[in-house]
Structure 1
Amino acid sequence: MVTRRAFLGSGGVVCGTLGLALSGADGSAMAQGDAALPWPAEPPFRFTGDMADFDAAQAALMPLYRVNRDFATFDAAYYGAMTLPVQAAYEARSRWVNQNHALFLRNAAPGHPRDVELDKSRAAVAKLLGASTEEIALAGGGTEALYALIANYALLQPGDAVIYADVDYDEMQFACDYLEKSRGARIVRFSLPEPHDEANILAAYEKILRDTPRAKLLLLTHLSNRSGLVPPVRAIVDMARARGVDTILDSAQAVGHMPFTVSDTGADFIGFSLHKWLAAPLGTGGIYIRKGRLQDISPWLGNRIHGPEDIRARIPTGTVDFAARLTVPRATEVHQAIGSAAKYRHLLRLRNYWIDRVRDIKGLEMLLPDEPDRHGAVAGFRLPGMKGPDDAKRAAALFLDKYRLLVVAKAGLASGPVLRVTPALFNSSAELDRLVAAIRAERGLFS
C-alpha cells in the first residue's frame, strides 16, 4: 500500500523534473522559474516550396507536419492537423494563457488584453474571407457556428418552410428539424438527382423553391462532407433571394480548402470551421453575418454579455480554449504563405491521382462527374456491389485493419452510403498508391 507520505515523497521527484521543488516539513510547494513569460511572437513564416510541381510540392509540404505514419489517414474533412509552426504557436500560447490565467481572462494582462488579442484572430479570418472584423465572430467549430445561425434565425414564422438536401451535413439537418418543434416551421427535405452535374443541381433547387411557396430559409452546403460536391453557390443563393428566401451557407469544408470570399458566395449568413482545412487548433470556427443583417440572427439564448449590435452576442460566451483561438492568425499566415490557390490545386491533384488509377475498375462507382469547379479534394466511392450502411462500415473496417488505411463510411445520400476519401496536405502519392492497391484488391468484396 502506498501511504500519503510515500506518495508525496515520490511526487517531489516528479515535480523536480518539471522545474518545481517541494520544501518544508509539511510538503508545501514552492515554484521555481516563475518569471513572467513574454508574449509569444513567432518570426514570419516563409514557404519556399515549388507548388507548381506535384512531387516537389509533396516534398515541401510533408515536413511541415508530424503525424502518425503507421496509418495512411484520409480524413482531412474531419480534422486537418496543425502544421508544426501552428502547433508550436498553440503550445506557446497555451503556456502563456496558463501562466497568466485569470489576469488574461479578465482583460487585465498588461499589454495584452484578452479581447484585443482575440480581435486579431477575428481580423485574420475577416481578411481571409474578404469581410470586415465586425462581421466575424469566433466559434467552437463549424457545427456550433451553424447551430447558432440556424436555431436563432429570427425571421421565421409558424408555417414557414425550411429547405435542406440529402447532401447537407447531418447535424445541420438536425438543427433545421429543431425549427419544426421550436418555431412551428415546416421542414422540406429533398434529394439531389445524380449525376450531380451543374444542370441537374440548378434544376433541382429551382424546382424545390418553386414548389415551396412559403419557403423562408434554405440550408446550402458549400462543399459536401459526404460526396465532395461543390454546387454553384452564387447561382443558388441568388435564385433563393429572388423568391424571398434566405440562405445559410455551410462552409465548414470550404474555408482553407478552396479560394473564395464572402462576396463570391452572395450569402448573408455563413458558418465555418477553422480546424479542418485551415489547420488551426481543434475547436475553432466562426460565423459571418453581412452588415445590415445582424438583427436577423437573434442573440444566443438571450445573450447580453455583448450588446445587440455585436456579432459576438450570437455565439456562446462561456470559457473556451483561448490559446486555440489566439493561434488562428498563425494558421492563416501559414495558409497564405503556401498560397490559397496553390494549395487548392495541390489538393485537387491528390484527389485526381488516386481516382485516375481506379477508373477502369468495373462496377466501381464514383459519385461526382469530372465537371470543372464542382468538386474539391473530398471524394466518395462505392465498391462494386456495395449497398447498405453495413457494407460501407465493413469495408471501412477492412481498409483500416488489413491495409492500415483510414477511409470513412458515410451514410445519408439518397443513392446510398459511400466510402469517403479526403487527402490532406501531409498525404503523399505513395500513400495514395496504397489506397489504389487496396481498392483493386477488394473490388470483389461484395460480389
Structure 2
Amino acid sequence: MVTRRGFIGRAGGALGVTFGVGLGLDGAVAATTGPPDGWPDEAPFSFSGDMTDFEAAQRALLPLYDVERDFATFDAAYYGAMTRPVAASYRAYSQWVNRNNSLFLRNAAPGHPRDAELDRSRAAVAKLLGAQTEEIALSGGGTEALYALIANYALLKAGDAVIYADVDYDEMQYACDYLEQSRGARIVRFSLPEPHTEANILAAYDRILKETPRAKLLLLTHLSNRNGLVPPVKAIVAMAKARGVDVILDSAQAVGHLPFTVEDTGADFIGFSLHKWLAAPLGTGGIYIRKDRLQDISPWLGNRIHGPEDIRARIPTGTVDFAARLTIPGAIAVQDAIGLEAKYRHLVGLRDYWVERVRDIAGLEILVPQEAGRFGAVTGFRLPGMKGPDGAKQAAKLFLDKYRLLVVAKAGLASGPVLRVTPALFNSSAELDRLVAAIRAERHLFT
C-alpha cells in the first residue's frame, strides 16, 4: 500500500516536487510514473526562481512546462497550459476518480465525499479573489459562467436596455443579444474610441450611459481578448451603479493574470476562466455573485438540484470533469509559490519585450496605448496596410506556416481586425525574437 504522501513522490512532478532552476526535464518526466493507490494529497509546491530578473525568471519558469517547442505559441488567452506539477496532479486525480467512479460521484467514497472535496476548490478560488466560499460556484469555463450570469439576470424587464462594446467577447455579446429575443430587452452597442486612453474610455462609457436612460445591464470586459485593453473597471462600475445599472464583469482573461480582488472591481457579478491564466485544467472556471445579490441571478433553467439560496443552482449541474475541478487548488498553489504580482510583472515584461522592438516600424499599429494599468500580456497589432478579416487571417497563416509562430487573427473591433499576441510564462525572449524578426520581415506584406 502506497501512502498518500508517498504517492505524490511517485506520481510525479506533482505538487510535492520542488522545481527550481537546476531541475532537468528528463528527471521531471521520469517522476511521472506509478499507479495511484490512494488519494492524491498534495504536498507544498516550492519555487526557487528569481522573478526579479527577466532572464533568470525565464530559466526558472521554462522547466515547469512540457509544451511543444517546434512552434512558438503565443495564445495563452485561449489556454494557458498546465505546469508539470499541475498536469501530474490532474493525472493523479483522474486516475483516482476513475478508480472510485460512482462511489465518489455519489458522495459515498470513504473519507472523500465529493461535495466536500469540491468545496476545497471553491474555497481556494474564493481566497484568491477575496470572496466568501458561498459566493463562488465552479463552472465549465468562463463562457459557461458568463452565459449563466447574463441569460439568468432576473431584474430585466421588456424595454430595458442592455449595453455592450466592441471590445467585449463575441459569445458574451451573443448572450446579451439573446436577452433581446427572450426577454424583450433593447440592445445598445457602441465602440470605444481609439486610442484607448483612460480618459477616452471613461468618456465613452459616461456618454453611452447618459444616452441610454432605460439602461439596466452593462457587460464590461476586465481584459479584452481582442486587443488586450484593461479598462478602469472600478470607475466604470461605480459610474453604472450611480445610474442604477448593474454590471456583469467578464474576468475570463483577468483571473490569474491581473492581481485583483472582487472588492477592487466593485462588481457584484463576475464570470471567469481558470484554464487560461491560472493554468488549471481545461474546462474550469466559475462565477462570483455578491452574497446579497444572489437572488438577482435566477437558477439555471429552473435548477433545483441545489436550493435557491445556493449559488451552485446558478450553474449547470451535469456530470463534469471532477478531476479537473479537484486540481484547481494545486494550480493556485503553484501560482502562489511564484507570486501573482511577480507573475504579472513577468508577463508584462514579455509583452514589452516584443512591443518595444517593433514599435519603430512605420505604419505598424499597436492597439493598446502605453498607458500604465491599461494592459497586461495581451496585445493586438496590425501590419502596415492590413485591412479586413481576410488580411488578418492571411497574415496569421503566414506566421504559422513560414515562421512556426502561432498568433491569432481577431475580428470585432470597430477599427478593424488585429493579430493578437499573448505570451505565456512558458515563452522565452528567444521565441519573442523570432516574432520580432517575422514582423520586420513581413512589414511590407500589405503595402
Q: Same fold (TM over 0.5)?
A: yes
Could you say which residue in structure 2 is the equivalent of 1:7? Answer: none
After TM superposition, list the pairs within 5 Å mapping 1:57-68 onto structure 2.
57-68=57-68
Q: Which runs of 5+ in 2 are unaligned?
A: 1-34
SS at structure 1 position matched to 2:173:
helix
> What is the SS of the residue equivalent to 1:236?
helix
Amino acid at match of 1:123: A
1:444 maps to 444
Q: Mapping of 1:106-255 within 5 angstroms?
A: 106-255=106-255
Aligned to 1:79: 79
Structure 1 residues 36 and 203, CA, compared in 2 at 3 Å: closer, same or farther?
closer
Query: SS at the partner of 2:445?
Result: coil
CA positional deviation for 1:43: 1.7
Q: Quick one: distance in 2 between partners of 1:336 and 1:204?
A: 37
Indicate the residue corresponding to 2:272 in structure 1: 272
What is the deviation of 1:95? 0.3
Q: For residue 400 of structure 1, what is the aligned residue in structure 2?
A: 400
Please state how far the C-alpha of 1:36 moved relative to its aligned partner. 8.2
Instruction: Please report the TM-score for the alignment, with normalisation by the length of structure 1.
Output: 0.92
CA distance in 1, matches of 2:91, 2:353: 35
Query: Which digits, 9 at most, give the CA deviation of each residue in 1:121-167, with x for residues without a partner?
Result: 00000000000000000000000000000000000000000000000
| Matches for 1:251-330 after TM superposition, within 5 Å | 251-330=251-330
CA distance in 2 between partners of 1:326 and 1:176 (Å):
31
Cα offset, 1:309, TM superposition:
0.1
Shift of 1:64: 0.3
Write the letter of the residue equivalent to 2:267.
Answer: A
Whole-angstrom CA distance in 2 between matches of 1:40 and 1:232: 41
2: CA distance between counterparts of 1:84 and 1:36?
17
Distance 1:36 1:52 in 2: 38
Question: What residue identity is the alignment partner of 2:247?
Answer: T
Q: Name the counterpart of 2:338.
A: 338
1:48 equivalent to 2:48? Answer yes
Hey, what's the Cα distance between the residues in 1 that align with 2:38 and 2:159? 57
Shift in Å, 1:308: 0.1
Question: Separation in 1 of the partners of 2:66 and 2:102?
Answer: 32
Match of 1:16 in 2: none
Task: Give the partner amino acid of 2:375.
Answer: H
* Aligned equivalents of 2:75, 2:85: Cα separation in 1: 21
Runs of 4+ in 1 over 4 A off after TM superposition: none
Separation in structure 2 between the aligned mates of residue 140 and residue 147 of structure 1, nearest angstrom? 11
Q: Determine the structure 1 residue equivalent to 2:38.
A: 38
SS at match of 2:258: coil
Give yes or no for contact 2:148–2:314 (8 Å, CA) kept in 1.
yes
Partners of 1:41 and 1:291 lie apart in 2 by: 31
Q: How do 1:330-369 residues align onto structure 2 when only pairs under 5 Å count? A: 330-369=330-369
Aligned-CA RMSD value:
0.7
Find the residue that maps to 1:354 and give its secondary structure: helix
Contact in 1 for aligned 2:36/2:95 (Cα 8 Å): no
Q: Identity of paired residues, percent? A: 83
Q: Which amino acid aligns with 2:235?
A: A
Structure 2 CA distance for aligned equivalents of residues 405 and 370 of structure 1:
24
1:241 CA displacement: 0.1
State the TM-score, normalizing by the size of structure 2: 0.92
Distance 1:77 1:246 in 2: 26
CA distance in 1, matches of 2:48, 2:403: 34
Letter in 2 for 1:343: K
Alignment partner, residue 11 of structure 2: none
The 2-side partners of 1:362 and 1:68 are apart by: 33
Tell me the distance in 1 between the aligned counterparts of 2:287 and 2:42: 27
Task: Tell me the number of residue pairs that the alignment of Structure 1 and Structure 2 aligns.
Answer: 413
Partner in structure 2 of residue 427 of structure 1: 427
Rounded to whole Å, the distance in 1 between the matches of 2:36 and 2:163 is: 53
Distance 1:36 1:347, change over 3 A: closer
Q: State whether structure 2 residue 42 is matched by structure 1 residue 69.
A: no
Deviations 1:198-240 (A, max 9, x none): 0000000000000000000000000000010000000000000
Q: Does the 8 Å contact 2:50/2:57 carry over to 1? A: yes
Residue 358 of structure 2: SS of its match in structure 1? coil
- TM-superposed CA distance for 1:42, in Å, is 2.3
CA distance in 1: counterparts of 2:348 and 2:388, whole angstroms: 29
Separation (CA, whole Å) in 2 of partners of 1:57 and 1:85? 18
Deviation at 1:41, TM superposition (A): 1.4
Correspondence 1:377-392 to 2 at 5 A:
377-392=377-392
> In 1, Cα distance between the equivalents of 2:36 and 2:232?
52
1:39-95, CA deviations, whole angstroms, 9 ceiling, x for partnerless residues? 001221001100000000000000000000000000000000000010000000000
| CA positional deviation for 1:37 | 2.4
Q: Which amino acid aligns with 2:320?
A: V
Distance 1:41 1:303 in 2: 33
